[in-house]
Amino acid sequence: MMDESAPDGPVKTRPFFSPVLAWFRRLVFFGSVVVVNLAATYWLYDLFTRMGMHRAHVLLLGVFFILNGLLVLGSFHALFGAWDILWGRKRAARITKLAEQAGDAPLTRRYAVVMPVYNEDCTRFCARIEAIYRSIEATGHIDSYDFFILSDTRDLDLWVLEETAWTNLCRKLGGFGRIYYRRRKINSNRKAGNIGDFVRTWGGGYEAMVVLDADSLMDGGDILKMTRVMEAYPNLGILQTPPKLIRGSSIFTRLQQFAMRLYGPLFIRGLNWWQLGGGSYWGHNALIRVKPFSDFCELPDLPGREPFGGKILSHDFVEAALMVAQGWEVWLAWDIEGTYEEAPPTLIDHLKRDRRWCQGNLQHLWLIFARKLPLTVRAHLFMGIMAYLGSPLWFLFLIFGTWVAWDREASGLSNLPYDGTLVDRLFHIDGRMQSLILTGAIFLLLFLPKILAMIGAVLVPRVRRSFGGLFPLLIGTFLETLLSMLLAPAVMVAHTLMVSGIVLGHAVGWGSQNREADGTGWGEALTVHATPTILGIGWAVLAWYISPTFAAWMAPILLGLILCIPVSVWTSRARYGKALARYKILSTPEELNPPDVLKLADMAHASVDPALDATQPARHGLVAAVVDPYVNGVHVSLLEPGEMNESSEALVERCLNMGPGAMSKEELIELMYLAPGMLALHRAVWLRPAEGIHSAWTQAVESYRRRLDAGATEELG
């Protein structure tokens, strides 16, 4: 249990980075963004004045100011990131250099590695735990770490499979007493509640915890480095790593992997350049000091009901905000290489996940203007909110632009140019050139991160080879740019509909994620993308009616809307992604030269053992927990002691006579948490005559005989 004493602040030590220099960096970064955005907005205002003001121009200017500000903000992250890389690794702000000072000294504290899971494939997440375990074991410091599988799984069959997988994992790794499994009875407050339950129950025994997702993978040597940093710097509250995407097979995931691996380092370094110790937490692949997390990061319920009120969905940003507000530092460990995760395999799966993130980020509107929050915290909350509000603003900008074009075409009046504007007096250019300069500047900002990343990759032989060579790198960049342009309009419309639905009061549920690249069917794509397709066709007809020039100007966006169904389907296909992989197109360094921990995960199979198995068709999951002696023993051993009463005895008899299919989920859960009831069921299905119990149980018992008979037949043959 956690210490009940009054909350303590961070130990008063010398800051890792000068606060004065940190404020100077933030002033330079955000000041540059504001100056460039104001200049671009005035340039557009000057152009509108030249053209003759329209009533929609004021709206266009307002939306442009926000959208262009977001564009400048993103591009300047890449620009400052490139500067930080050129400045040199030794001069860059890198908190993990504290680990180098510690050398190979033994760790003085204990640490937990926690993985919350919710209706996941237990074989896959246990393989990741096995790989992390073996990777830490190779460092010689495994005794300082304990592992926790924190299950919120609601599927009863998967619950049993998790128990058997955990048992096999512990048996083969010698992990009993070091690898723990817990399933919550009530999964309140989703993942945040799951982690909170761990902190309240077991957190007091650990200095810090490595928080993972079910698809997370981390190198043991890097985890050791992070824990050394935590021990060396007592002001550190959270150390977040930038995970790389891995194992993508569909074109959609390969696009994401390639883009994040090639362009991502620039954004990460640029982000770290100004946030420094006022960073954010991304919910996984991070090390969190347990005591301040317990003291300060209990999430409040927001006023009102969902979607804007109730439980906070995007808890990670808020937890980091609360930590920073209390004086603890949150850093981004940009130089930690061995940190990985997986991505949704299709556009539709990506949008399903975005629906939950959208609601969570929009809830932050309650918090962004809260008192006593530092500037960096407000900046992170703002960027998270605008990641989704940017799409409806872009949509509005296009609507206003169409309105202006329609009015000018319908009026039949030509513009009366006014050449006395400030831009005209200073630069002596006409309106057409002024428009081209603004367009060129916007496109430069849009493609600047890609340009900088490509230049860096091409000029550095080691980086160029890691992506498969010059030609695969160039072709991959072109393909990623083209497909991203086609996908962006569909995402814009989807995000606009998400925001509209949330504003109208439609809350999101909590579902498990699809991590397999099965591909999107044409019927599903038609259902999901019907709205943007119809919108694109109608808008294209209207644009052509206004003028062919306007239609050509809108073509990149309209083409993305009209083609979103086939693009969504084609990019979801794993066979096309594998075909590109054969030519190293859209390949990443982790794909072409897999790191050791990824190889360990690919070979991991400790959780699978035919001696303790609940996957057989006739006795799968819940049925195995009743019938199979070993599975029943494992399940009962994980339950609290209990006693039978008349009600529970009647429940057991009903399950025996009518089978599990006739029971409600609530009744089955009650039975599965009752140790004597599960033992009574197990004895009855083996000892009672077949005529006295349901056929589901007799078929499960019979399946053992069939297996033995099959083995005997093989021996005779």
Q: What is the CA radius of gyration of the chain?
A: 29
Eight-state DSSP code of residue 143: G
State the pLDDT at residue 478.
Answer: 96
Render pLDDT for 535-548 as a digit per residue (tens, 0 to 9).
999 999 999 999 99
What digits encode the pLDDT tens for the residues 436-456?
Answer: 999 999 999 999 999 999 999
- Can you give the pLDDT at residue 262? 97
Strand order in the sheet with 111-117: 179-183, 145-151, 111-117, 208-211, 286-289, 236-240, 329-332
Is residue 444 situated within a structural domain?
no
**Digit-coded pLDDT (tens) for 54-109:** 778 889 999 999 999 999 999 999 999 999 999 876 688 899 999 988 778 889 99
Can you give the pLDDT at residue 518? 62
Q: How many other C-beta atoms lie within 10 A of the C-beta of residue 103? A: 7
Q: How confident is the model at residue 404 (pLDDT cuts 50, 70, 90)?
A: confident
Three-class secondary structure of residue 181 per DSSP: strand
Q: Would residue 683 count as lying in a domain?
A: yes
Alpha helices by DSSP H, 504-573: 522-546, 548-562, 564-571
CA distance 694 to 700: 10
What percent of the chain stands above pLDDT 90?
74
Residue 465 CB neighbours (<10 A): 15
Q: How many residues does the chain have?
A: 717
Any domain includes 645? yes
Is 697 among the domain residues? Answer: yes
Cβ atoms 116, 213 nearer than 8 A: yes
Strands of the 339-341 sheet, one edge to the other: 217-218, 339-341, 244-245
Q: Which of 338-352, 511-525, 689-703 tops mean pLDDT?
A: 338-352
pLDDT of residue 504: 85
pLDDT(338) > 80: yes
Kind of pairing, strands 286-289 and 208-211? antiparallel
Instruction: Check residues 83 and 703 and name the one with the higher pLDDT.
Output: 83
β-sheet bridge partners, residue 218: 339
Q: Is residue 712 part of a domain?
A: yes
Domain that holds residue 673: 615-716
3-state SS track over 182-249: EECCCCCCHHHHHHHHHHHHHHHHCCEEEECCCCCEECHHHHHHHHHHHHHCCCEEEEECCCEECCCC
Whether residue 405 lies inside any domain: the answer is no
Give tens-digit pLDDT for 211-264: 999 999 999 999 999 999 999 999 999 999 999 999 999 999 999 999 999 999
Q: How far apart are CA 625 and CA 607, in angstroms?
A: 17
Check whether 415 has a pLDDT greater than 90: no
pLDDT at 104: 83
pLDDT at residue 716, as a whole number: 39
**b/e per residue 426-454 (b: at least 16 CB within 10 A):** eeeeebeebbeebeebbeebeebbbebbb
Residue with more model confidence, 702 or 599 = 599
How many structural domains is the chain composed of?
A: 1
- What digits encode the pLDDT tens for the residues 355-366? 889 988 998 888
Residue 100: the pLDDT is 87
What is the rounded CA–CA span in Å between residue 575 and residue 249? 8
Does the pLDDT at position 420 exceed 90?
no
CA separation for the pair 419, 425 (Å, rounded)? 8
Contact of 16 with 277, CB cutoff 8 Å: yes
**Do 79 and 453 meet the contact criterion of CB atoms below 8 Å apart?**
no
Query: In this predicted structure, what is the pLDDT of residue 102?
Result: 77
Q: Could you tell me the sign of the dihedral formed by the alpha carbons of 57, 61, 62, 66, in that order?
A: positive
CA 249-604-222 angle, 5° bins: 85
705 SS3 class: helix
> Which DSSP string corresponds to 277-313?
TB----SSSEEEEHHHHHHH-PPPPBSSSTTTSBS-S
- How far, in Å, are 84, 264, 278, 314, 528 from residue 378 at the CA level? 23, 22, 10, 15, 34
Looking at the domain assignment, is residue 676 inside a domain?
yes
pTM here is 0.92
Distance between CA 272 and CA 80 in Å, rounded? Answer: 10
Give the helix, strand, coil percentages of the chain, each rounded to 5: 65, 5, 30
Q: What is the pLDDT of residue 717?
A: 46
Distance (Å, rounded) from C-alpha 166 to C-alpha 315? 28
631 part of a folded domain: yes
Look up residue 394 and give its amino acid. Answer: W
Q: State mean pLDDT over 137-156.
A: 96
User: What's the average model confidence in pLDDT over 121-148?
Assistant: 96
Q: How far, in Å, are 9, 292, 295, 670 from residue 6 at the CA level?
A: 10, 11, 8, 38
Mean pLDDT computed over every residue of the chain = 90
Mapping DSSP to helix (H, G, I), strand (E, B) and coil, where does residue 368 land?
coil
Across 582-587, average pLDDT:
96
Question: Per-residue confidence at 7, pLDDT binned at 50, 70, 90?
Answer: low
Say if residue 707's pLDDT is above 60: no
Both tokens of 576, joined, read 């096309």
The band of 712, judged by pLDDT with boundaries at 50, 70 and 90, is very low
Question: Could you give the C-alpha distances from 448 to 82, 205, 527, in angstroms and in order?
Answer: 11, 48, 36
Please give the pLDDT value at position 507.
67
* pLDDT band, very low/low/confident/very high, at 408 (cuts 50, 70, 90): confident
Q: Which residues, 6 or more positions from 2, have their beta carbon under 8 angstroms from its beta carbon? A: 199, 200, 203, 204, 290, 291, 294
The pLDDT confidence band at residue 418, using thresholds 50, 70 and 90, is: low
Residue with tokens 């009015």: 407
Q: What is the share, in percent, of the chain residues with pLDDT greater than 70?
A: 94
Beta bridge partners of 179: 147
What distance in Å separates the CA atoms of residue 449 and residue 81, rounded to the nearest whole number? 10
So what's the pLDDT on residue 51?
77
Q: Is the pLDDT of residue 190 over 70?
A: yes
Give tens-digit pLDDT for 655-691.
Answer: 999 999 899 999 999 999 999 999 999 999 999 988 8
pLDDT at 406 over 70: yes
pLDDT, one tens digit per residue, over 598-619 is 999 999 999 999 999 999 888 8
φ/ψ of 456, rounded to 5, equals -60, -40
